[in-house]
Amino acid sequence: MDAVTTLTLSEFKREGRKITALTAYDAPFARIMDRAGVDVILVGDSVGMTVLGRADTLSVTLDEMIHHARSVVSAVERALVVVDMPFMSFQVSVEKAVENAGRLIKETGAKAVKLEGDKGVEKTVRAIVEAGIPVMGHVGLRPQSIHKFGGFKVQGRESGSAKRIELDAKATENGGGFAVVIEAVPVSLAKQITESLNIPTIGIGAGMHCDGQILVMHDVLGISDNVRPRFAKRYASVADIAQKAFREYIEEVKGGKFPTMQHSYSKLKLIKKSRASTGI
């Protein structure tokens, strides 16, 4: 199959074909989902919570994003790899945002960056795009702004906040962004935004009317059991499978059942050194 590009996603929207996206943070899982046929792989700053065990995404650094994104890119052949710009990597100044976006692309091989932001982010998006880097926006619930929002809460339930989110999404489009993630907003609002934009919308907790959907890999696989968002659907229980395997391994080692000769080397192969090999 042909590699997915930003233009591919635009074609999908025009043709009414749904876009599929998942998060990944390492090469093994990125390879698996790429082979499964996912369109977009996001190296999200959610790595701070899903992999690094932190309470939120705010402490994730640019270097950490580069580390994980490089691993993901190394394993992907088809999907479009997008990498998150972490907190304070683009808010300080437009110049710094362009510089950091450039690092993410140059040092990882990813094809695009994603940044969260309200309508004020338009200038930053435009500058990054003009530098030759595709940008995906992120509106609605923005995890980097949880202290401002008072926690992980649904956004856009009142007319005033709904209108602001519409303007935020439009700012990404006006700045030249190629797509926008809409997180945790009412279905009707996501539908309205999707119909008003020429660029694709990718929903997470935003209902069925978005042009595509994204979920966190750990929610899909049932790896993280401490946080289960209402909008996430568990398609497997990998944590249960892994725990069962670990228990069997522990029992076999303690019971002397592993390793057996099947998992051991049976003969010591002696290699006679020649004078040439010994240097004599």
Residue positions annotated with a catalytic role: 183
- Contact assessment for residue 44 and residue 216, using Cβ atoms and an 8 Å cutoff: yes
Helices (H), 139-273: 146-149, 159-174, 187-196, 217-221, 238-254
d(CA 169, CA 163): 10
d(CA 182, CA 57): 17
Preceding peptide of 259 cis, ω within 30°: yes
- Contact assessment for residue 107 and residue 62, using Cβ atoms and an 8 Å cutoff: no
d(CA 257, CA 125): 59
Tokens representing 94? 């437009």
